[in-house]
A and B are shown apart, each in its own frame.
Chain A
């Protein structure tokens, strides 16, 4: 029951981790210059009204007090309100976070589909054409900005070739989005049998997912290639070769040994993309969480930013936790 104890101890740490992250986010946000009261009331407002608004918002309290008040509200599920959208942050994030998650998840899946096979092939056929193509790909993907690729794809496939629908938002304006179950348009429309919505959302997902997939396949490919290569050069692979075991078996074993490193980079990328896909979100007017948070920072709208920090922190922690479980499953050395 070592595993249960391990899971238990990890879950126990979750709460202090979240509090710590929120604290750091809070301090950083408050450090950014900008007064929400001034921004909210506009340039014509009088100093009195600004002061009054600040008192209303609780901005004149000392920082630690503000933090504690925030934590208190958080414990009741109140993430505050965004003065830009005038909605509670929680409900804003309830639509926006799944939007980003859907985009990023499909993007990662595509990245894995491209990156891992190419990475494995590049390692196995190091000196051949594939090896060199793999190396090139990793280089190019690292150099290209994702938003630039997004714009290029839009230009080619929409403006010039007219193959795809207008790249605005997650779904065509004329189509009604499916009922919210998970927040993923694709899954929800599948579950509710809403074929129009399914078709439209898939079409709209195509370009941004391809963008994210192509770019992020780069680091995955490089990691897979270098780790596979290392495993193939390792003593145990050489030994299996000396035992006359077939090359496919040797490759399979080497891949298994390479998995921990690959999983690590996938999890890091995944967590990063929640916020890191913001530029692509902007190009496609996705209405995702990243955009939401950026607007919050630019306008000193604290609550959306903190809300986003909490959501993505939780998400990352869950991902890392699952990754650690995966390590346990793969590597018998860790179990001891």
Chain B
């Protein structure tokens, strides 16, 4: 499985480990041996609760992990080149051009003193070496593509004059204007009204498919992942605990945490109680430093889970899970 498709992998992280070492405090591992693969034109959904490390992964790929964090180990291969070993100016050439990121809170992210047209043309002129006229045309085309009404007039508008939904469309336009190969969406639609969110998501998916752009869709909402992604990966406490094609995943998740998530979204209290237990204080000798990170909450845990850290293994073609006792279902 690995060899033939690695040629068409746009992004691949290998055992990526990121730690934060705050001064005077014990180090924190934000990401632990994360392996993520995104093929050409594929949309991967990364689902996790807040604090799981999703934003750290986005920052790691963009090369902007804030101090006191750093990549401790592993590789981030973008079309075969390891980004971790690249100097800053090379990374800067990729940002916004080959890899772009769409962020949440768009009005806060846009420069308040520049018109949106100016901000879009800046990108085109710098990254694509476009002339002023070409850049302007590109910007207008992009504004049209993201369905901003009356793009010529909006070109001169300032960010504070736009609604949240409009500003998000502008940020998407900025993310796509240089025709990148990989677009990262970092929780980009949270905070928008639900009717607007669904419009934006539909738009993003359409544009990505049209331009064969790969997407890494980071979200807290499993519903978003279910409806817009080809594959899904679950992040728990800095580790990928499950990765699978979307349909197969939602037909029956393999990792106990994934099942818990699904139960939580269904608001079915009996089901939820089934899949979680209250965090009980465990005796010291029960927890090894190499225990499974979910063991303290896991319904299916057994002795092995406290002493042996599970590895990510392939259950079926394309289905990976990090668990000694993954949930088995009678195959239908």
Contacts and interface: CB of A to CB of B under 8 A. Distances in A.
Interface of A: 235-236, 238-246, 249, 253, 256-257, 330-333, 336
Interface centre among A240, A246, A253, A333 (most CB of B within 10 A): A240
B113 A245 contact: no
Interface stretch (B96-104, B237-245, B299-307): B96-104
A242 to B, nearest CB: 5
A236 B122 CA distance: 14
A257 B123 contact: no
B81 interface: no
Nearest to A253: B111
Nearest to B157: A332
Contacts of A249: 122, 126
A245 B122 contact: yes
A242 B111 contact: no
B224 interface: no
A238 B64 contact: yes
B96 A242 contact: yes
A331 B114 CA distance: 9
A236 to B, nearest CB: 5
B111 A245 contact: no
A240 to B, nearest CB: 7
B113 A331 contact: yes
Contact of A235 (B64, B105, B161): B105
Contacts of B109: 235-236, 238-239
Contact of A244 (B93, B105, B112): B93
Interface of B: 62, 64, 91-97, 100-101, 103, 105, 108-115, 122-123, 126-127, 158, 160-161, 174
Nearest to A234: B108
B92 A244 contact: yes
Contact of B113 (A243, A246, A253): A253
A244 B110 contact: no
B122 A257 contact: no
A291 B112 CA distance: 45
B112 A236 contact: yes
Given A242-B64, A246-B126, A333 B95 contact: no
Given A235-B105, A244-B97, A332 B113 contact: yes
The 10 A-B pairs of least Cβ separation, nearest first, read: A244-B95, A243-B96, A244-B96, A239-B109, A235-B108, A236-B111, A332-B158, A244-B92, A235-B109, A242-B101
A291 B170 CA distance: 58
A257 B62 CA distance: 25
Given A236-B111, A333-B158, A241 B123 contact: no
B103 A239 contact: yes
A286 B103 CA distance: 59
B127 A244 contact: yes
Given A331-B112, A333-B112, 10 more contacts: A235-B108, A236-B110, A242-B64, A242-B100, A242-B103, A245-B126, A246-B126, A253-B114, A257-B113, A333-B160
Contacts of A253: 111, 113-114
Nearest to A335: B158
Nearest to A243: B96
A6 to B, nearest CB: 19
A244 B113 CA distance: 19
Contacts of B93: 244
Q: Which of A240, A243, A257, A330 has the most CB of B within 10 A?
A: A243
A229 to B, nearest CB: 14
A242 B99 CA distance: 9
15 contacts: A235-B103, A239-B110, A241-B95, A242-B64, A242-B95, A244-B126, A246-B92, A257-B112, A257-B113, A331-B113, A332-B112, A332-B115, A332-B158, A333-B158, A336-B160
B95 to A, nearest CB: 3
A91 to B, nearest CB: 47
Contacts of A243: 95-96, 100, 123, 174
Most buried by A among B64, B100, B112, B127: B112
Contact of A245 (B91, B96, B101, B103): B96
A331 to B, nearest CB: 6
A240 B96 CA distance: 9
Contacts of A246: 92, 126
Nearest to B122: A245
Contacts of A236: 108-112
A235 B103 CA distance: 10
